[in-house]
Copies of this chain bind each other. A is one copy, B any other.
Amino acid sequence: MRYELYYWPGLPGRGEFVRLALAEAGADWVDIGNDGDAGGVDAVEKGLEDDDRPSFAPPYLRAGTVTVGQVAAILQFLGPRLGLVAKDEADALWTHQLQLTIADLVAESHDVHHPVGIGAYYEDQKAEARRRAKEFREERIPKFLGYFERVLAKNPHGPQHLVGARLSYADLSLFQVVDGLRYAFPKTMQALAPKIPHVLALAEAVAARPNIKAYLDSERRLPYDESGIFRHYPELED
């Protein structure tokens, strides 16, 4: 099966949570938005317009006759196909619930630099972003990552994984959000480190997995910059 990922070109963004799952599994996949020969951004936009079951926004994934949008739904679809989720129904549901909570953190990570206008420029809402960033750094990041620390500590199979004794797509996504937050809020994350040892150990273990390491070292892994979800504006950490 060849998987086609449709996402905006040039940034990790929400597409990255899907890329990591495909990379870990060694899947055959095309990054349509970043591959002009495969259609590039025009193909991404065309799908949003023309699909019988259009997604509200990228990313969306095509796999044979199936098209699915929304990161958490894409990962739920890919999970069993790529061996990245437990077969047990309750475990799979719990994995999905955790993924949805990661999605909430990702949304807040974006909104911190766009508090009063999703479609407006950051430069036009810097004062408001500063105010929201203070709460995000002091309340929201500790609350979310403290939650995942607690989930890891409560896992009866040990704190190496969020669910059970094996890697799941939620582990990969937790790595990505930690990685992105470290880029965006390095001082905050450093100060928080002693309180989230399991979360950081998981992120480190994911980064060291052979397929993930090869992916992170490859050209397919795009750098963060100030056009995506995770942005480093030093003034938001002062």
**Interface of A with B (CB < 8 Å)?**
52-56, 65-66, 68-70, 72-73, 76-77, 90, 93-94, 96-97, 100-101, 104, 107-108, 111, 115-120, 128, 131-132, 135, 139-140, 144, 147, 150-151, 154, 156
Q: Is the CB of B97 within 8 A of A115?
A: no
Chain A: interface secondary structure?
helix
Q: Is the CB of A116 within 8 A of B115?
A: yes
Given contacts A116-B132, A118-B135, A135-B120, contact A147 B93 (CB under 8 A): no
Q: How long is the Cα–Cα vector from A120 to B68 in the complex, in angstroms?
A: 36
Q: Which 7 A-B pairs have the closest CB atoms?
A: A70-B100, A116-B131, A116-B132, A56-B101, A115-B115, A73-B97, A70-B97
Q: How long is the Cα–Cα vector from A140 to B114 in the complex, in angstroms?
A: 14
Q: Is the CB of B151 within 8 A of A139?
A: no
> Contact partner of A139 among B73, B119, B156, CB < 8 A?
B119
> Contact partner of A73 among B55, B96, B156, CB < 8 A?
B96
Q: How long is the Cα–Cα vector from A139 to B118 in the complex, in angstroms?
A: 10
Q: Is the CB of B100 within 8 A of A154?
A: no
